[in-house]
């Protein structure tokens, strides 16, 4: 049985990803700040903050030990905040970077250590179309995801020798809590900048992730794939 | 305690050398040069060794240490220069952890 570690599995896209891979026969190790919302014999939940180094190290090593090795990591956990730059509170900016950048960094680092021993592995990070669109009101969110893109591209080069691929998917807006506070006017304006003017779906994201995880994608690394014709 | 840690470091070095075909790690001593001038490890091998050592520490002592921390990186004398320096660094890390 293959093992996948997915962050932010309590709700939204992360929960859908976990359910998809459980349905495909994978063992899923998930985490969130809150308790599990998935009940399945092959689902293992950890309550943690993704920027808590000690908790992340403990989760990854526990998952690797129990499963015999982690085949894939999906760094889905993320937070956003819609603010004009001049009205962005420092704690908000810091919180966005702690979850999106440092959380992804910690999981990439710890999971890559375990994958190195197996000489194979797939890491998929989460970018956003807000970065190439230079989306007003999302400066710190887009900046945090730009950092995730850089980590993705550079880490791919640093771990390629060990058979580990590192890629990122850049979704368009999907109807989740993450965009709950965005007005319909702003959303329409955003969709107008896409080549294909519609909201994204979990299936759109899954399609890209499945491609990255496919054993035939062993030569695909350091790539960021945006959905909706953005970029 | 240092002897116990030294033996664990040497054991990890022997296994690592055998797995990665690195000559010079068959019979390590405290004076074995690891990284830097005259060392047997390149930077990528050092990364792998530290990772293996972290896993070994967890298996043997049940501790989850991250060895490449700020203490290691900010030292004037690198704790990765020799096997002896590495063992002493690991011992200090274990003491701090406990």
What ipTM describes this predicted complex?
A: 0.79
Q: Over 90: is that where the pLDDT of B2 sits?
A: no
pLDDT of residue B70: 75
Q: What is the pLDDT of residues B32-81, one digit of tens each?
A: 999 999 999 999 999 999 999 999 999 888 898 888 877 777 777 889 99
Mean pLDDT within B71-96: 88
Instruction: State the CATH number of the domain containing residue A202.
Output: 3.40.50.720
Q: Which pairing describes strands A43-47 and A27-32: parallel, antiparallel, or unpaired?
A: parallel
pLDDT of residue A110: 96
Q: Chain B neighbours among A 147-166 (CB < 8 Å)? A: 161
Residue A101 lies in a domain: yes
Q: Which chain A residues are Cβ-neighbours of B48 within 8 angstroms? A: 116
- Closest by Cβ to B44, choosing from A57, A113, A161: A161
Rounded to the nearest angstrom, the minimum Cα separation between B57 and chain A is 12
- Residue B24's φ and ψ, nearest 5 degrees, are 100, -5
pLDDT of residue A178: 66
Q: How many folded domains does chain B comprise?
A: 1
Q: Which chain B residues are Cβ-neighbours of A117 within 8 angstroms? A: 51-52, 55
- C-alpha span between A56 and B1 (Å, rounded): 28
Instruction: State the CATH number of the domain containing residue B21.
Output: 1.10.1200.10
Interface touch B66/A53, C-beta < 8 Å: yes
- Residue A50's φ and ψ, nearest 5 degrees, are -65, -15
- C-alpha span between A124 and A155 (Å, rounded): 11
DSSP state of B70: H
Q: How many folded domains does chain A comprise?
A: 1
List of residues 6+ apart from A44 with CB closer than 8 A: A27, A28, A29, A30, A63, A66
Residue A13 lies in a domain: yes
pLDDT of residue A120: 97
> Average pLDDT, whole number, for chain B?
90
Which structural domain, as residue segments, surrounds residue A136? 3-223
Question: What is the full per-residue pLDDT of chain A (231 aa) written as tens digits?
Answer: 999 999 999 999 999 999 999 999 999 999 999 999 999 999 999 999 999 999 999 999 999 999 999 999 999 999 998 889 999 999 999 999 999 999 999 999 999 999 999 999 999 999 999 999 999 999 999 999 999 999 999 999 999 999 999 999 999 999 876 677 778 888 888 899 999 999 999 999 999 999 999 999 999 999 999 999 998
Residue with tokens 């015999």: A68
Query: In a 3-state reduction of DSSP, which class is residue B35?
Result: strand
Residue A68 lies in a domain: yes
- Closest by Cβ to A61, choosing from B48, B52, B58: B58
CA distances from B73 to A37, B67, B76, B78 (A): 41, 10, 9, 7
Q: Which chain B residues are Cβ-neighbours of A161 within 8 angstroms? A: 44
SS3 annotation, chain A: CCEEEEECCCCHHHHHHHHHHHHCCCEEEEEECCCCCCCCCCEEEEECCCCCHHHHHHHHHHHHHHHCCCCEEEECCCCCCCCCHHHCCHHHHHHHHHHHHHHHHHHHHHHHHHHHHHCCEEEEEECCCCCCCCCCCCHHHHHHHHHHHHHHHHHHHHHHHHCEEEEEEECCCECCHHHCCCCHHHHHHHHCCCCCCCCECHHHHHHHHHHHHCHHHCCCCCCEEECCCCC
Residue A228 lies in a domain: no
End-to-end alpha-carbon separation of chain A, Å? 36
pLDDT of residue A231: 84
- Residue B75's φ and ψ, nearest 5 degrees, are -75, 145
In chain A, whose CA is at the least distance from the CA of B19? A117
Q: Over 80: is that where the pLDDT of B88 sits?
A: yes
Interface touch B55/A161, C-beta < 8 Å: no
Which structural domain, as residue segments, surrounds residue B91? 2-97
pLDDT of residue A192: 93
Residue A150 lies in a domain: yes
């Amino acid at each position: 049985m293959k093992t996948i570690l997915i962050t932010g599995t309590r709700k939204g896209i992360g929960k859908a990803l976990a359910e998809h891979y459980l349905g495909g026969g994978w063992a899923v190790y998930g985490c969130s700040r809150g308790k599990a919302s998935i009940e399945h014999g092959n689902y293992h939940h950890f309550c943690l903050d993704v920027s808590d180094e000690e908790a992340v190290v403990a989760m990854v090593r526990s998952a690797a030990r129990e499963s015999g090795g982690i085949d894939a990591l999906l760094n889905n956990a993320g937070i956003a905040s819609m603010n004009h730059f001049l009205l962005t509170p420092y704690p908000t900016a810091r919180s966005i970077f702690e979850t999106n950048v440092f959380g992804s960094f910690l999981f990439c680092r710890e999971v890559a250590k375990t994958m190195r021993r197996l000489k194979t592995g797939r890491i998929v990070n989460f970018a956003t179309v807000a970065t190439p669109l230079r989306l007003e009101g999302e400066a710190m969110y887009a900046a945090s995801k730009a950092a995730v893109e850089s980590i993705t591209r550079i880490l791919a080069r640093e771990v390629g020798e060990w058979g580990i691929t590192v890629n990122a998917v850049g979704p368009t807006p999907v109807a989740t809590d993450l965009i709950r506070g965005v007005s319909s006017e702003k959303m329409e304006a955003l969709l107008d900048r896409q080549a294909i003017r519609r909201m994204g779906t979990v299936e759109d994201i899954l399609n890209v992730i499945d491609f990255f995880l496919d054993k035939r994608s062993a030569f695909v690394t350091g790539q960021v794939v945006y959905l909706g014709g953005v970029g | 305690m240092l002897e116990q840690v030294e033996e664990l470091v040497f054991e990890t070095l022997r296994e690592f050398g055998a797995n990665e075909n690195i000559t010079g790690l068959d019979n390590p001593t405290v004076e074995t040069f690891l990284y830097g001038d005259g060392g047997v490890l390149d930077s990528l091998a050092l990364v792998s060794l530290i990772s293996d050592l972290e896993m070994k520490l967890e298996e043997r002592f049940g501790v989850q240490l991250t060895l490449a921390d700020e203490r290691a990186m900010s030292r004037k004398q690198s704790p990765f220069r020799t096997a002896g320096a590495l063992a002493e660094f690991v011992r200090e890390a274990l003491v701090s952890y406990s």
